[in-house]
Amino acid sequence: MASSNVKIRLARRGRKKLALYDIVVANATSPRDGRFIEKLGTYNPNTNPATILFDEAKALKWLLNGAEPTDTVSRMLSYKGILMRKHLQVGVLKGAITQEVADARFEEWLKAKETKIATKVSGLADKAKEAKNIKLAAEKASNEAKAKALAEKRSAASAEIEAAALAAAKEAAGETEEAVNETTATPTEGAE
């Protein structure tokens, strides 16, 4: 039997701001990232839902031998069903239920848990897809507004150019008329 100073806890690894953890069995007096007795698995909190991989049989063995999980590891063990399995196994050891009943109850619990996890994962995927569609719609509306503003600006600029060209044409036509008037007026003035 392991003594009560044996803990199932996390040991940090990974780079800065991207932590990964090992789930280890260690003496309570050992440093967090120091010596450990056995590595049970890994925990990656950077994914959604978090990725928890460990050897369930070893974890159950250590729990039945008296190792105390930390609060975080206890929640992980509960999430994966190890604490439920331990509870059922203690009932079997006491003679309250048979092993077959315990296995059937655990399988029923496991199916319900897997359904719940699958629902969460599909919900997250749907939410991400919806957020993407909203973002695309907002971007499309923004692009249409920009295109409309640009078209208005171009039409105003082209109207100004046409007005300037028309004014230049009128001015040129006026200068030509004055030149024609001057040329026709000059010979008559000289004849008098």
With respect to residue 58, please indicate whether it lies within any of the assigned structural domains: yes
Domain extent, residue 161, equals 122-179
- CATH code of residue 76: 3.30.1320.10
On the question of pLDDT at 104 being above 50, the answer is yes
pLDDT digits (tens, 9 = 90+) for 134-165: 999 999 999 999 988 888 888 888 888 888 88
Q: 85 in a domain, yes or no?
A: yes
What number is the average pLDDT over the span 57-67?
90
Which of 27-31, 125-129, 145-149, 185-189 shows the lowest per-residue confidence on average (mean pLDDT)?
185-189
pLDDT beyond 70 at 42: yes
- Let me know whether 86 and 129 are in one domain: no
The residue-averaged pLDDT of 169-191 equals: 65
Does residue 113 lie in a domain region?
no
Mean pLDDT, rounded, for 118-147: 89
Residue 81 lies in a domain: yes
Residue 20 confidence (pLDDT): 93
- Quick check: is 62 in a domain? yes
Name the domain count of the chain: 2
pLDDT in tens, 6-37: 999 999 988 888 999 999 999 888 888 888 89
Q: Does residue 43 belong to any structural domain of this protein?
A: yes
Q: What is the rounded CA–CA span in Å between residue 98 and residue 178? A: 119
Residue 60 belongs to a domain? yes
The confidence band for 43, taking pLDDT boundaries of 50, 70 and 90, is very high
Whole-prediction pTM: 0.58
Give the separation between CA 70 and CA 44, rounded to whole angstroms: 17
pLDDT mean across residues, the chain: 84
Summarize the chain as % helix, strand, coil (round to 5). 65, 15, 20
Name the amino acid, one letter, at 189. E
pLDDT (0 to 100) of residue 10: 92
Q: How confident is the model at residue 1 (pLDDT cuts 50, 70, 90)?
A: very low
CA-wise closest residue to 41 among 3, 5, 79: 79
**For 86, how many CA atoms within 13 A lie in the half-sphere containing its CB?**
21
Closest CA to 104 of 116, 94, 91, 115: 91
Which residues have a Cβ under 8 Å from the Cβ of 88 and sit 6 or more positions away?
A: 97, 102, 105, 106
Q: Which of 37-51, 85-99, 173-187 has the lowest mean pLDDT?
A: 173-187
Which H, E and C letters describe 31-77, residue by residue? Answer: CCCCCCCEEEEEEECCCCCCEEEECHHHHHHHHHCCCEECHHHHHHH
CA–CA separation, 56 and 78 (whole Å): 11
3-state secondary structure (DSSP) of residue 3: coil
Is the backbone peptide bond immediately before 187 cis, with ω within 30 degrees of 0? no
